[in-house]
Amino acid sequence: MDSVEAGGARIPSLGLGTWTLRGRECADLVAAALDAGYRHIDTARLYDNEAAVGEGLRASGVARRDIFLTTKLWWSDLAPGDLERAAAASVKRLNVDQVDLLLIHWPNGTIPIAGTMKALNAVRAAGLTRHIGVSNFPTALLKQAIAASEAPIVCNQVEYHPYLDQTTVLDFCRDNDIALVAYCPLYRGGGLLEEAPIAAAAARHGKTPAQVVLRWHVQQPGVVAIPRTSKAGRLAENAAIFDFDLTDDEMAAITALRRPVERLAENGAPRAPAWDA
């Protein structure tokens, strides 16, 4: 599987998002994903499935060193002291020695970023995570986080799909050796996979529309995609995106689908930052 290198980390270009998955379903799907060739699993304290994810890792039989494991700390746990306790609790629930990437899930405007980043660096220094990063950070907050961190910020995990223009964030990430990890890469709510440029590319390449969209993501320098699915049968389909290339014209036509769109995740919620235009 291809990977993105950023800030000293090597992140597999395709990962399994586990939001909404719980219990046995989650553990079985994680194990099935690893059996299908995935080597990147994404979870979070908020998802209430870290224990199940850890169970799936162990059931897979894949060596821990071969899996890139990400978890995220909730925005209420970002104060110094709280953050270190929350990180240790996540690692314990996963039943691993350390995670590969620990993220701030959402910024918290009431807690200074400098203190949060100092605590996040302390967690890294203590060996609970190999790398650190953020999620849902616009460029203004990314700049503050970079300035406050001794260790590299290796990723910014954000909503990204052909309907949502993330050019400003993506350019900033590339300029600062930060990977952009795309959640909701296939959008939600219908419509995207029926768009003419996607359907046409799928027909030309003998691929499904979902494979075309995921290929559009990972073919962009510095972009990782973490689609979520609850269907084991979709895992192999989502993973089969590294044996073809979209043409420049196909990439441009899919990119041109971007439009002013209501964000799928947390738009207008109290924790949502001021997004980049």
DSSP for residue 208: -
Phi, psi dihedrals of residue 5, rounded to the nearest 5°: -100, 130
Amino acid at 174: R
Please give the Cα distance from 39 to 100 (Å, whole number): 12
Please give the Cα distance from 221 to 207 (Å, whole number): 21
Please give the Cα distance from 184 to 166 (Å, whole number): 13
Say how many C-beta atoms besides its own lie within 10 A of residue 92's C-beta: 13
Which string of DSSP letters, residue by residue, matches 136-192? S--HHHHHHHHHH-SS-EEEEEEE-BTTB--HHHHHHHHHTT-EEEEESTT-SSSSG
What are the helix (H) ranges across the chain? 23-35, 50-60, 82-94, 113-125, 139-148, 167-175, 196-205, 209-218, 232-239, 248-255
Structure tokens at 144: 């503050």
Residue pair 135/104 in contact (Cβ under 8 Å)? The answer is: yes
Q: Which residues are catalytic?
A: 47
Cβ burial 183-218 (10 Å sphere, 16+ → b, else e): bbbbbeeeebeebebbeebbeebebbbbbbbbbbbb
